[in-house]
Structure 1
Amino acid sequence: MAAIRIGELSAGLGLPIKTLRRLADAGAIPSHRTEGGHRLFDPDAVRAALGRSATAETPPAASPDWRRAEKLDGLREDVVWAAVASELGIDPKTEGGRIAAYAFTEMLNNAIDHSGGTSADIQVWRSSDAIDFTIADDGEGIFAHVRDGLGLATELDAAAELTKGKRTTMSERHSGEGIFFTSKAVDTLRIAANGLRLTFDNTRGDFALGVDTSTAVGTAVTATVSATPTRTLRQVFDQYTDEDGAFARSTPTVKLFGAGVSFVSRSEARRLLDGMDVFREIDLDFAGVEDVGQGFIDEVLRVWPSQHPEVRVTPMNMNEAVEFMARRVARPPVT
């Protein structure tokens, strides 16, 4: 099929031009530019990319083993989980049971306290291999909620903020740790809202950000927990907490915080590290980043750390070009 302009693609898919442009910038959908700088798309390739995003990590096709529609007002997540565990025979003493209990109650609590909705459809699947659950509320959508609560420009910016940890729109009641630790503890976590889908896949050590066309209202969170996980909940907490049990370490993924795979400006660096002074250790994950500008790398590895000496910033997964720029920042100036 012939390549088409973004306006034609938008009309054909029923998706906003702005959303398609940002997904292309982030590398979530394929595109190429003409010599004149116009971006063109192969609609079949784009549909294939969106199809992979839409079908990745979906819950089991079979009917759920447990399902309820619950009013959120006055709902207690621990009571709901107790009913699930009792009816499905989930042993709270197993590691899979512990992780599932933590993830389920954290995600349902998010719907209760943050969604702005009135009800949630809760589904759970139980097999010998895994525990899967989906919690779908009828609220405003998590990415729009975080965007407005933190004063961000777009829902894509909000998705990036969720990877930091300790980012909450209700600091008097929440620490902002629930989604972060859940995303590290479960096998897979998928958050769909506001036309976007953010997926964490710990079985492959990967994440994905793409279009969601299945969640018309609110937020749908889907998680999979292995019945025999390779990590314990305690190991997950220990990896990101200090000796006193405080959440002290974060691993933000740089690629989620910009358009495309190149980072040049100091303003991009400042946005990446905004709010990160609450941690003692920050591992900056440069996986997928092709090149950086001197201003960006100087800000994240020299200027910001000098302003926050109590925080240790460590870059990781750098390619040769990024590592070269990092070495230049670390090298003392010639006098």
Structure 2
Amino acid sequence: MAGVRARGEEIRRYILDHVEKSPGDVTKATAERFGITRQAVNKHFRRLQADGVLRRSGNTRASVYRLAPQSQWSHACEIEPGLAEDVVWRRDVRAVLGDLPNNVLEIWHYGFTEMFNNAIDHSDGSLIGLQIKKTVATTEMLISDDGYGIFRKVQAAMGLLDERHSILELSKGKLTTDPTRHTGEGIFFTSRMFDLFDILSGNVYFSHKFADAQDWILEPARTSSGTSVWMKLNNHTARTAKRIFDEFSSEDDYEFSKTVVPARMAQYGEDKLISRSQARRLLARVELFKTVLFDFSEVETIGRAFADEIFRVFALQHPDIELLPIHANSETRRMIARAQHGSQGQ
């Protein structure tokens, strides 16, 4: 009997972990995973619904299950002298998150304090709103302010082309408009710790998914004032903050020495990556790192001048920096190899 109970718990845990990833076919996936019938899977769904863990929408044939919120909390903080992220964490947020594993709480501690402090120091706003929603499987947090907007502020401070260009720079890390108080590491590491990390500000929506090579830039239907940061994390993830720090740090001195540069963010519309100017835009500030991974996901091809500027000209000027292309198709790899072998003239 104990074995049957344990198997049932395993099936229900699988459902809870996967229902939000693929709500339309989780029944089929569960049946195949455990070698049981769809009818047997539906019994587990009904039990989870009776326990208040899942909610069902739609009719019988097209019903969809989603995780039911177990708790929801919201709070507003006026941005005024004395407001401190560690106090808000200790006084309010930590208690709302509740009983979570230490590694999960460590990630939330880092992500919340970094993003909340950004709103205090950089938003030029008057109010910060907090929202937290918990289910049995995941926790979501929204931090929003009524300030100037992070992408617009970076664009103005650095004289960039537009708000999309701000995301390219933020995605590299080590970018801050206030170097006396910030290292520029917060958004980079936070975006890589959480299952989902989104920023909505002005005319741009940025999204990063853990273990996904791609960052998404979208233009929403309407402009958003201020900045909204949304983070989501599985309550039982085995991930640790240290693992993420180590992935992008030197082994000897723990320096933030490695970054990933999404090449597709230098594209605008249907433009191809062909010019030296586009390459120089991609190369901005990468001399701050020892290892630079150029991610060519969703890049169909690159031009000779573009490849030459990065993998020959810049490489010769910075022999101490390791430049590594990743997720490049065969055509892109061929152009990079040509540049590395010095075939393209100046």
* The two structures share one fold, judged by TM-score above 0.5: yes
Q: 2:106 aligns with which of 78, 95, 98?
A: 98
Q: CA deviation at 1:81?
A: 1.4
The corresponding residue for 2:74 is 67
What is the alpha-carbon distance in structure 1 between the residues aligned to residue 258 and residue 177 of structure 2? 20
What is the alpha-carbon distance in structure 2 between the residues aligned to residue 98 and residue 212 of structure 1? 32
Equivalent pair of 1:189/1:222 in contact (CA under 8 Å): yes
SS of residue paired to 1:172: coil
Q: Which runs of 5+ in 2 are unaligned?
A: 1-66
State yes or no: 1:108 paired with 2:116.
yes
> For residues 147-296 of structure 1, what are the structure 2 equivalents within 5 Å?
147-202=155-210, 204-213=212-221, 216-243=224-251, 244-259=253-268, 260=270, 262-296=272-306
Among the aligned pairs, what percent are the same residue?
A: 35
**Range with greater deviation from structure 2 (206-215 or 255-264):** 206-215
**Range with greater deviation from structure 2 (79-88 or 304-313):** 79-88
In structure 2, relative to structure 1, the CA distance for the partners of 1:332 and 1:217 (3 Å cut) is closer
What is the alpha-carbon distance in structure 1 between the residues aligned to residue 317 and residue 244 of structure 2? 29
Equivalent pair of 1:161/1:167 in contact (CA under 8 Å): yes
**Range with greater deviation from structure 2 (72-81 or 240-249):** 72-81
Equivalent pair of 1:147/1:155 in contact (CA under 8 Å): yes
Q: Number of matched residues? A: 274
Residues 264-322 of structure 1 show CA distances to partners (whole Å, capped at 9, x for unaligned) of 11111111111111100000001111111111101111111211122111111111111
SS of residue paired to 1:162: helix
Residues 78-103 of structure 1 show CA distances to partners (whole Å, capped at 9, x for unaligned) of 11112211244244x52211111111
Equivalent pair of 1:115/1:142 in contact (CA under 8 Å): yes
What is the alpha-carbon distance in structure 2 between the residues aligned to residue 269 and residue 310 of structure 1? 19
Equivalent pair of 1:77/1:105 in contact (CA under 8 Å): yes
What is the alpha-carbon distance in structure 1 between the residues aligned to residue 285 and residue 231 of structure 2? 27
Equivalent pair of 1:264/1:293 in contact (CA under 8 Å): yes
The corresponding residue for 2:330 is 320
What is the alpha-carbon distance in structure 2 between the residues aligned to residue 224 and residue 150 of structure 1? 30
> For residues 14-93 of structure 1, what are the structure 2 equivalents within 5 Å?
65-73=72-80, 74-82=82-90, 83-91=92-100
The corresponding residue for 1:118 is 126
What is the alpha-carbon distance in structure 2 between the residues aligned to residue 78 and residue 202 of structure 1? 26
Corresponding letter in the other structure for 1:156: R
**Range with greater deviation from structure 2 (207-216 or 299-308):** 207-216
Q: CA deviation at 1:333?
A: 5.0
Equivalent pair of 1:144/1:194 in contact (CA under 8 Å): yes
Corresponding letter in the other structure for 2:178: M
Q: Which runs of 5+ in 1 are unaligned?
A: 1-59
Corresponding letter in the other structure for 2:322: R
Q: Normalising by the residue count of structure 2, what TM-score does the alignment of the two structures yield?
A: 0.75
Corresponding letter in the other structure for 2:317: Q
SS of residue paired to 1:309: coil
Of structures 1 and 2, the one with the larger relative CO (CA 8 A, separation 6+) is 1
What is the alpha-carbon distance in structure 1 between the residues aligned to residue 181 and residue 168 of structure 2? 22
